[in-house]
Amino acid sequence: MRTLLRYLGGTALVGLLVVAGTWVRVGQIGAEDMTASSGVDAIVVLGAAQYDGDPSPVFRARLDRAARLYRDGVAPHIVTIGGGQPADRTTEGQAGVDYLAAAGIEESALTAVGAGSDTLASLRAAEPVLAGHGWTSVVLVTDPAHSARSALMARDLGWTVQTAPVRDGPAVRADVQTEYRLRETLGVLYYRVTGGPSGISATVF
């Protein structure tokens, strides 16, 4: 019985350390801005909710961040990704492109990938589009807590990845940080174990 208890205690301790280490890493990546000054093929904006073509505040913060990076010369292209709900008249990807075009970004620099109901599916949908253009290095724009999981998935697709988390908007409010970071910690662990989406990517705002 003592041996069994020691084994169970050791297993629980290892599990706790793995969760704690992932929690720390999610926070570290979310706090970093890995953006190079130039030389990246494309800025990839992870989708978020849109309402009949109008990006939600969370999505607008990501799009505004991408626009600033583009104007700073970080990359010559912006790819907005994300599908839509069955009743939607447009997709997150298309809503993102429309928003950026209205903000003055050249349409020739914009590409919409309007597919995918979660982070992994959206990135997988974008992979052949980027490959068709020969784009292999990307800057991912999303929320701080979401950066670690999305970067892990993108690297598994063979991309060279940098992250540029948003620094304003609803996703960085103090009252949502603990919940969001915990959710993404569990999402990273789930993805590492299964290689699939966690099913916990619903917006908490």
Nearest CA among 91, 95, 84, 18 for reference residue 54: 95
The pLDDT of 37-66, averaged and rounded, is 93
163 inside domain: yes
CA distances for 111 relative to 7, 133, 142, 153, angstroms:
53, 11, 17, 20
204 inside domain: no
Report the CATH number at residue 149: 3.40.50.620
What pTM was estimated for this model as a whole? 0.89
43 inside domain: yes
What is the pLDDT of the chain when averaged over all its residues? Answer: 89
Looking at the predicted structure, is the pLDDT value of residue 10 above 70?
Answer: no
Q: What is the pLDDT of residue 146?
A: 95
Domain count, the chain: 1
DSSP annotation of 46: P
Q: What is the pLDDT of residue 199?
A: 61
Q: Which helix (H) or strand (E) holds 111?
A: strand 110-113
Nearest CA among 133, 129, 161 for reference residue 147: 161
Looking at the predicted structure, is the pLDDT value of residue 205 above 50?
Answer: no
- Contact between residue 183 and residue 22 where contact means Cβ atoms under 8 Å apart: no
Give the domain extent around 176: 2-194
User: Which two tokens mark 139?
Assistant: 């800057």
80 inside domain: yes
125 inside domain: yes
56 inside domain: yes
129 inside domain: yes
120 inside domain: yes
Q: Which residue has the tokens 């999610």?
A: 26
Identify the weakest region by mean pLDDT among 69-73, 87-91, 141-145: 87-91
Better pLDDT: 23 or 95: 95
